[in-house]
A and B are shown apart, each in its own frame.
Chain A
Amino acid sequence: EPEVTQTPSHQVTQMGQEVILRCVPISNHLYFYWYRQILGQKVEFLVSFYNNEISEKSEIFDDQFSVERPDGSNFTLKIRSTKLEDSAMYFCASSDGGARNQPQHFGDGTRLSIL
């Protein structure tokens, strides 16, 4: 069964550094998402991406965050100048359509630890 893959599984970064989290969505999916889960808290929506542009974003997704689809298969989340509170599990997801139409399939996540 096709799946969403994320790399790396664990990323440790010094505060203030930039980090790029990578995702390969399911190949025929058109909508891509990033979520994060701070330890002990709910999974929170960050951003959705369709047709090579951001379609929706939450208030968490401020100017330090950006997303990109650099080629036909990868979908990346960049965090500039990381802060301690960016430590979380980051999940990528993809779907055929928007959440109201098609289920979202998640990767195994990248655990980001900011020191």
Chain B
Amino acid sequence: GEDVEQSLFLSVREGDSSVINCTYTDSSSTYLYWYKQEPGAGLQLLTYIFSNMDMKQDQRLTVLLNKKDKHLSLRIADTQTGDSAIYFCASGGSQGNLIFGKGTKLSVKP
């Protein structure tokens, strides 16, 4: 079935780069997404990449897509304490819905 997998935890020091990885099964998704969830808050659309692209850069965020391996990554440059949150990878499902991973909890240490 359709599935998205990602590691559950990542800890980095402030100022370092963070890389969050994700694999997915549905290769027909038009877009692949990264959502951010801060404690007690909703799902904030952070960035997304069109499935025909390999890379997208948006300020401190870089998204890399390896469509052959069905691998998506999110790199956050110069990670700040305010980046501490849960990051969800999502692909488009066959029902027009989103298929989410379990989320990666990013902890940024000062």
The residues of A with any CB-CB pair to B shorter than 8 Å are 6, 31, 33, 35, 41-45, 48, 55-58, 91, 93, 98-101, 103-109
Contacts and interface: CB of A to CB of B under 8 A. Distances in A.
Given A105-B45, A108-B41, A48 B100 contact: no
Interface residues of B: mostly helix, strand, loop or mixed? Answer: loop
Nearest to B43: A106
Interface in B26-77: 28-31, 33, 35, 41-45, 48
Contacts of A48: 95-97
Counting chain B CB atoms within 10 Å of each CB, which of A44, A99, A108 scores highest?
A99
A interface majority secondary structure: strand
B45 A43 contact: no
Interface residues of B, number: 24
B44 A106 contact: yes
B43 A43 contact: yes
A83 B92 CA distance: 30
Nearest to A92: B42
A42 B42 contact: no
B102 A101 contact: no
B98 interface: yes
Nearest to A106: B43
Given A42-B102, A106-B35, A56 B45 contact: no
B96 A43 contact: no
Nearest to B42: A108
B90 to A, nearest CB: 8
A77 B80 CA distance: 37
B102 A45 contact: no
A99 B43 contact: no
B88 interface: yes
Nearest to B29: A100
Contacts of A107: 42
